[in-house]
Structure 1
Amino acid sequence: MRWPAMVCRAALLFSIALSLAPHSHAEDGYDLWLRYRSVEPEWRETYTVSTRQLVLPRRQSPTLRAAADELRRGIGGLLDIDIESADKVGRDGALLLGTPQESPAIAALELPLEDLARGGYLIRTEQVDGQRTTVIAANDDIGVLYGAFRFLQLMQTRQPLEQLAIASSPQVDLRLLNHWDNLDRSVERGYAGQSIWDWWRLPDFRHPRYTDYARANASIGINGTVLNNVNANADILTARYIDKVAALAGVFRPYGIRVYLSARFSAPMEIGGLDTADPGNPAVQRWWKEKADEIYAAIPDFGGFLVKANSEGQPGPQDYGRSHADGANMLAAALAPHGGVVMWRAFVYAHDNPDDRARQAYSEFKPLDGEFADNVVLQVKNGPIDFQPREPFHPLFGAMPGTPLMMEFQITKEYLGFATHLAYLGPLYEEVLEADTCTGPGPGRRDAACDGSATVASVIDGSLHDYGHTGIAGVANIGRDRDWSGSIFNQANWYVFGRLAWNPRGSARAIAEDWLEMTFAADDAFVQPAADLMMASREAVVDYMTPLGLAHLMATGHHYGPAPWVSELARPEWNPVYYHRADAGGIGFDRTAEGSDAVAQYAPPLQRKFSSRASVPEKYLLWFHHLPWDHPMPSGRDLWQELVYRYDRGVAQVEEMRRDWAQLEPFVDRERFVQTSSFLAIQEREARWWRDASLAYFGAVSGRELPPGARAPAHSLQYYRALSYPHAPGH
């Protein structure tokens, strides 16, 4: 049937009209914790009288303009108003922004700014020209921007604005994301789509998403980003890519974010035409110096290099009989004239080293303490193996008073269920940062009382050893997915990382509550049960994956799903059986003096604690001890029964998480409620898979029956062993 031309034209016009009509805002997670949705009427009234006027210096840097733009965006969204701008306070309820250097009004207040670190800020209620004024002041423009984001957070979390007296400074200097992004836009251990860096279209096209990325990071105090994978491609250091990196640096600069690059140690050979990368070779040293000069000519505020060397097949100084210090110091010399730093990763283990993998990084780096250049920082993972659901803290923390150490956490959940499992990592970060190293502040490794005065946090913020550089890095979970992180709740791990990088002594629970209020709803009836759910989630993952100190039971390569049976891979430490050592007699890795003696790398009080079966925390029991299956546990169960109980408890916790989330539906928009519900269903199914496959295997190895009343695995061990996932994401 043919329609008359008039009808067709009318239909076309109607279609165009629909396409141009305003749409309701989709809650797809793109806005992260910067949603700025309207506050309730009672809050709108009180907040409006505190935000009537935005007062800025006449001369504004790009960073101050970014702060003003954010306040206009945030206040406009929260209060449905347009805030008026001025260069002097003219009415009650003004917001006065700036530094004493640029704002005479702020200088006249003589605020106590001298104690603020770079990036620190004050937010205070003051009388300015007879008017009640909220002052956001700092010694530098980036501090003003951070203060503006904090002010908006107060509104988002429904805090009173009438009498403010807030002072905040970052406790750590380098607060970085590490992107494991490749030049082809694939992301190693990435579960949120392709890389957000569109290298092909850079430098000419700068996607608006880059600015939103910078805004999000600045809102939580992150001040640096390593753009490319630690398993680096040398091409990133060619002139073509330096131009592209410079374009990103230009977008990030107003938000206080410096760019860094992962440098491939063999780059002088691969892109420089040399026949060696020996750090002792003058031609190699000259090549790196000229390369640093080239980068800084294009990017004056370039941060420096992150280096993975002599680990997992990556080239490094040991290829030439040199030490890690030799390699790091050579790069440090090239960067030093420009103020750049070298972040040298301590994640090293060798296929031909028969020592316990948990010992190898300490064994290589502890003897080098004090030999690194002043602008070298060692980047150390939180635990001695590899971002497991739970590990004891890395023994290097507290052991290198002469060498700055920075923390490396993983935000992306390589070992904790990828994008679909809800696992809030705040408790993991908090557990590590609060761990007591029991070491003294002086040279060498002196015993100290385990009194909480020498925590891991005190190491990385420099207060224990008076480090010249301090830092904390997080392996990013960011991709091209609209929600940035592969799921809504994965955003919380990015958020809590930034907040704890600013203040390593922060509360994971309080940060979770802030995130929930900013991301969903500022209603205690929602926030408290949702925070309970988040705080319990990581422990649930530990229970259904690696209870009682077990580790690395994941399938090899992609690390998706359980595979405790894998034993045939070429390198011993790639096999899960290497870590659990289960046999008919028992289970666990003996790291006491009778075993690998990895316990000796901790301070003596911890050696004694971890070596004793009576005093070792249950959460690390099988990390440090190989025990018989009938070993009695404090619960009254034997070890096998306790293991079954922990697996069952993990599954039950996920079931409870699903029920709890279902009760919160009235507070959550449809899109994000459905996504989270769907992912929790996946998590429950996969928690059961983890439980069943693991118990089927350990039951077969031990020859033990399940305790009475315990549910039998859904399938045979042969079924679970036959499962294969060659196309799992992130690998």
Structure 2
Amino acid sequence: MKAAGMPGRRAHARPRTARGWFRWATSIALSVCAAVAPAAAEDGYDLWLRYAQAGAERSAQAPRFEQLLAADATPAQRAIRDELLRGLRGLQGRAPALAERVDRAGALLVGTPHALPAIERLRLDLHDLGDEGYLIRSLRIDGHPATVVAANTDAGALYGAFALLRALQTGQDIAALDLRDAPRLRHRVLNHWDDLDRHVERGYAGQSIWDWHRLPGWIDPRYTDYARANASIGINGTVLNNVNADAQVLTPMYLEKVAALADTFRPWGIRVYLSARFSAPIEIGGLATADPLDPAVRRWWRAKADEIYAAIPDFGGFLVKANSEGQPGPQDYGRTHADGANLLADALAPHGGIVMWRAFVYSDEEPEDRAKQAYNEFVPLDGAFRDNVMVQVKNGPIDFQPREPFHPLFGAMPRTPLMMEFQITKEYLGFSTHLAYLGTLYEEVLRADTHVQGEGATVARVLDGSLHGQALTGMAGVANIGSDRNWSGSHFDQANWYAYGRLAWNPGLPARAIAEEWTRMTFGNDPAVVAPIVGMMMASREAVVDYTGALGLHHLMARGHHYGPGPWVEGGPRADWTSVYFHRATRDGIGFDRSRRGSDAVSQYAPAVAEVFDDPDRVPEELLLWFHHVSWDRPMASGRTLWEELLHRYDRGVASVRAMRATWAGLAGRIDPERHAQVAAFLAIQEQEAQWWRDASIAYFQSISGRPLPPGVAPPPHPLAYYQSLAFPHAPGDTQ
């Protein structure tokens, strides 16, 4: 998207005469022919499940699978068998033969001891793998080399099959395998912010993929491919509708449609969940109240749960946004979040369902510091929730900003299961046109140490239950999936979906290793491709932080649609929907004082963390302006003043994007031209918009600080009024 009047860049200036056009086209064709032969044309639909033979450099010792022994008595078993046939056909050039016994080298056995007698005879130790873990082992059967993928359930066998295919896709030596793996989190869920009219709130990849009007009569094959992709990375649940819920989704007409999707996803180990509107008993139930302590309300929800489970026996449960941003909730009746969550939990408990109750709450009653409200409301309720309730907490205390400190609730509610909520869709990181690999953001949060029980009390340990002995564990990711052919709006945004799934399975995985894995599966194993792409990905999120507001600045985007810079935004219905509320820039300094001398938000963290955050000389510079209001002339670690350092970060961010463009241009010919062209175009947009962010932000903050630009720092090409005048009423992903 290009702001009106903004200077543009033309990567390839096309001539205007016929002869010029001929010469230009010829030169482009020759340059492509001279390069390394590209892969076949691709549109991104296959995601990381391309199973491309040319992209799987096989070890000389790697076995070729000649036989496949896999049960097919259930839909799940058939899904496993068919995926292996599909994958091996692509990776080996031909599919293995289906067999009932091992009678030659290269046999692959996949399944459970109960379903496959050949695996039962191996007497493998599967006791510690649970319902979703798997074992992959190279061994000999009747003198023949073979590989077995074994699990206690079909779900575990499915994940093991995908793990084996992943190893093949990434060129690993699988000649002598002995792998055991199981998920560290129980509920690994996507949250779709999709409305019933197919609008997607904060969606940048087209319409919702759920075509509610045609369901249940038409089951789009895309739904199966969606399930395949999620299963391949261990996601086992999906919330189909927006947290800003429409009660109609709980009516019989829509439950029939939900049941059709559940039937489609079930073979792939995926349960469906629904966002429940708290006022549904009034809106579709004909009651006069939704008070969670009212007996009629309690009966209504129990009957609704019975109705849902009659249609969907493995329904996962409810996600609820209540008493936040105008949504109804228990506080409307003087009740607590625990009262509201427990109402629904009691209705779901007989069926094994769970409630995911969001902690994203803020209101005008907390004028001092919005960052404190969730902690203030939920910590007093620790231990008051039913056993089948998880409190779903965003990674930071504001709202999915490019960088935030970890949320203080993590570690502060030891008697309540907490579920991480990450945003996969890039609401504040450039939508789908900016390359920003979020694996580094997720890793930063998961590895943060809460210090609630000394060192090593990481956020990841809060989530996986090991810190406080929780059995109910989970992670949620706000999906970036839409109807675009490439699913996520851009090819690189697929990596964020992938990284989320892999970290939900194991929060300890390194972001770099995930980036390399995804790159190999998506673009092939050529080292000349993998290394530069991984380098781009690992630097990309920090680049966005730099050009949108480094050093702990946050919430500087334009109003409503959140597209582009808006550090000048003020006024309107709420102070905490403005940028000036958060940066608090004056002639003397900048930053939100959350120290003990300010809002005292630092005291919501454990003492060891609070002491660091409270001290402007000890807090990491990346969070300085999040916790402190400091002078523009404050000396920084670099030797620059804060003003000079901020300018340096803006320029560094733009330079990083420029470097990514150059790196990607150097990969021309090594990547299929269709995908290469779209990424190149998006990187051009990103550079242009990074420059826009830089120029507009400098123009505004200079008008506030009154500081001159140091030598070598280019002034913005337009006056501040120009940037403030830009408007984008139809930017994608806005709230309705």
* Equivalent residue, structure 1, for 2:632: 629
Q: CA deviation at 1:26?
A: 4.0
Name the aligned partner's letter for residue 573 of structure 1.
Answer: D
Per the alignment, residue 242 of structure 1 pairs with 255
Of 676, 700, 703, 2:703 maps to: 700
Which secondary structure state, in structure 2, belongs to the residue aligned with residue 109 of structure 1?
A: coil
How far apart in 1 are the matches of 2:56 and 2:339? 63
Contact 2:55 2:523 in 1 (8 A): no
Q: Distance in 1 between matches of 2:139 and 2:56?
A: 26
Counterpart Cα distance in 1 of 2:47 and 2:649: 34
1:38-77 matched pairs, under 5 angstroms: 38-39=53-54, 43=58, 47=62, 49-57=63-71, 60-77=73-90
The alpha-carbon deviation at position 564 of structure 1 amounts to 0.5
Q: How does 1:193-212 map to 2 (within 5 A)?
A: 193-212=206-225
Distance 2:463 2:591 in 1: 31
Q: 1:328 matched to which residue of 2?
A: 341
**Alpha-carbon separation, structure 1, partners of 2:104 and 2:604:** 63
Q: Structure 1 residues 180 and 40, CA, compared in 2 at 3 Å: closer, same or farther?
A: closer
Per mean C-alpha deviation after superposition, the further-off stretch among 720-729 and 25-34 is 25-34
Q: CA RMSD in A?
A: 1.2
Alpha-carbon distance in 1 for matches of 2:64, 2:106 = 4
Look up the equivalent residue of 2:58 and give its one-letter code. Answer: W
What's the CA shift for 1:129? Answer: 2.2
Task: Tell me the secondary structure at the aligned position of residue 334 of structure 1.
Answer: helix
Write out the 4+ residue segments of structure 1 that deviate beyond 4 Å after TM superposition.
Answer: 44-47
Q: TM-score, normalised by structure 2?
A: 0.93
Q: Is the 8 A contact 1:105 1:128 kept in 2?
A: no
- Quick one: structure 1 residues 82 and 45, their matched pair in 2 at CA, closer, same or farther if it must change by over 3 Å? farther
Match of 1:687 among 687, 690, 715: 690
1:112 Cα deviation after fit? 1.7
- State the Cα distance separating 1:40 from its structure 2 match: 6.6
Distance change >3 Å, CA 41–CA 63, structure 1 → 2: closer
- Distance in 2 (CA, whole Å) between partners of 1:588 and 1:256 is 47
Question: How far apart, in 2, do the equivalents of 1:652 and 1:158 lie?
Answer: 34
Instruction: Note if contact 1:56-1:88 (Cα within 8 Å) is conserved in structure 2.
Output: no
Q: Give distance in 2, aligned partners of 1:113 and 1:459.
A: 27
Aligned equivalent of 1:307 = 320
Matched, 1:34 2:49: yes
2:353 is aligned to: 340
**More off after superposition, 659-668 vs 669-678:** 659-668
1:643 aligns with 2:630: no
Task: State how far apart, in whole Å, the 1-side matches of 2:320 and 2:731 are.
Answer: 27
Native 8 Å contact 1:692 1:714 kept in 2: yes
Q: Which residue of 2 aligns with 1:498?
A: 501
Corresponding residue for 1:443?
none
Measured after TM superposition, the shift of residue 42 of structure 1 is 6.8
Alignment of 1:244-259 (within 5 A): 244-259=257-272
Q: In structure 2, what is the Cα distance between the partners aligned to 1:548 and 1:596?
A: 19
Residue of structure 2 equivalent to 1:531? 534
Q: Tell me the SS of whatever aligns to 2:58.
A: helix
Q: Is the 8 A contact 1:654 1:684 kept in 2?
A: yes
Aligned residues: 696
Q: Contact 1:117–1:170 (CA<8 Å) still a contact in 2?
A: no
Contact between 1:50 and 1:134, CA under 8 Å: does it hold in 2? no
Percentage of pairs with the same residue: 66
| C-alpha distance after superposition, 1:551-577 (max 9, x if no partner) | 000001100000000111120100000
Residue 109 of structure 1: how far off its partner (Å): 1.5
| Local SS of the residue matching 1:39 | helix
DSSP-derived class of the 2:53 partner: coil
| Cα shift readout 1:420-451 (whole Å, capped 9, x = no counterpart) | 000000000000000000012xxxxxxx2xx3
**2:636 is matched by which residue type in structure 1?**
M
Partner of 2:477: 474
Question: What CA distance in whole angstroms lies between the structure 1 residues aligned with 2:458 and 2:57?
Answer: 43
Contact persistence 2:134–2:181 (CA under 8 A): yes
Q: Distance in 2 between matches of 1:727 and 1:322?
A: 39
Contact 1:50 1:162 in 2 (8 A): no
Question: Hey, what does 2:420 align to over in structure 1?
Answer: 407
Match of 1:377 in 2: 390
What is the aligned partner in structure 2 of residue 11 from structure 1? none
Cα-to-partner distance string for 1:529-555 (whole Å, 9 max, x where unaligned): 110110000000000002000000000
Give the whole-Å Cα distance in 1 for the aligned partners of 2:206 and 2:601. 38
Instruction: Describe the superposition over 1:651-672 as per-residue Cα deviations: whole angstroms up to 9, x where unpaired.
Output: 1111111111111113200000
Code of the residue aligned with 1:43 in structure 2: it is: R
Mark the runs of 5 or more structure 1 residues left unpaired by the alignment: 1-23, 441-447
Displacement of 1:91 in angstroms is 1.1
Structure 2 equivalent of residue 5 of structure 1 = none
The whole-number CA distance in structure 2 between the counterparts of 1:39 and 1:696 is: 50
Residue of structure 1 aligned with 2:712, choices 706, 709, 717: 709
Q: Secondary structure of 1:342's partner?
A: strand
Deviation (angstroms), 1:73: 0.4
Letter in 2 for 1:253: R
| Conservation of the 8 A alpha-carbon contact between 1:421 and 1:682 | yes
Aligned to 1:88: 101
Aligned mate of 1:187, from 181, 187, 200: 200
State which of 484, 487, 493 in structure 1 corresponds to 2:487.
484
Task: Check whether the contact 2:56–2:91 (CA below 8 A) recurs between aligned residues.
Answer: no
1:6-405 maps to which residues of 2 (within 5 A)? 26-39=41-54, 43=58, 47=62, 49-57=63-71, 60-405=73-418
Higher relative contact order (Cα pairs below 8 Å, separated by 6+ residues)? 2
Name the stretch that deviates more: 108-117 or 492-501. 108-117
Show CA shifts across 1:459-493 (max 9, x none).
Answer: 00110011121000000000000000000000000
How many Å separate the matches in 1 of 2:378 and 2:395?
Answer: 15
Residues 259 and 599 (structure 1 numbering): CA distance in 2 closer, same or farther, change over 3 Å? same
Post-superposition Cα deviations, 1:582-618, rounded to whole Å, max 9, x if no partner, equal 0111000000011000000000011110111111000
Q: Is residue 462 of structure 1 aligned with residue 465 of structure 2?
A: yes
Q: Per-residue deviation at 1:45?
A: 7.1
Match of 1:724 in 2: 727
Alignment of 1:410-421 (within 5 A): 410-421=423-434
2: CA distance, partners of 1:596 / 1:667? 53
**Does structure 1 conserve the Cα–Cα contact (< 8 Å) formed by 2:57 and 2:525?**
no
Partner of 2:599: 596
User: What are the residue-to-residue correspondences of 1:666-677 with 2, within 5 Å?
Assistant: 666-677=669-680
Residues in 2 aligned to 1:230 and 1:355: alpha-carbon distance in whole angstroms: 26
The DSSP-based 3-state class of the residue aligned with 1:205 is coil
Please report how far the alpha carbon of residue 46 of structure 1 lies from its aligned counterpart in structure 2 after TM superposition. 5.4
Separation in 2, partners of 1:603, 1:43: 50
Separation in 1 of the partners of 2:705 and 2:130? 57
Q: Which runs of 5+ in 2 are unaligned?
A: 1-38
Equivalent residue for 2:512, pick from 509, 514, 521: 509
Is the 8 Å Cα contact of residues 102 and 141 (structure 2) preserved in structure 1? yes
Q: CA deviation at 1:262?
A: 0.1
SS at match of 2:121: helix
> Equivalent residue of 1:666, what SS?
coil
Q: Counterparts of 1:423 and 1:499 in 2: how far apart (Å)?
A: 17
**What is the identity, as a one-letter code, of the residue corresponding to 1:295?**
I
Contact 2:567 2:700 in 1 (8 A): yes
Counterpart secondary structure, 2:669: helix
Q: Bigger shift: 270-279 or 82-91?
A: 82-91
Tell me which of 584, 596, 614 is aligned to 2:587.
584
Cα distance in 2 between the residues matched to 1:131 and 1:294: 53
Residue deviations 1:139-171, cap 9 Å, x none? 001111111111111111111121110111000
Give the counterpart letter for 2:457 in structure 1: A
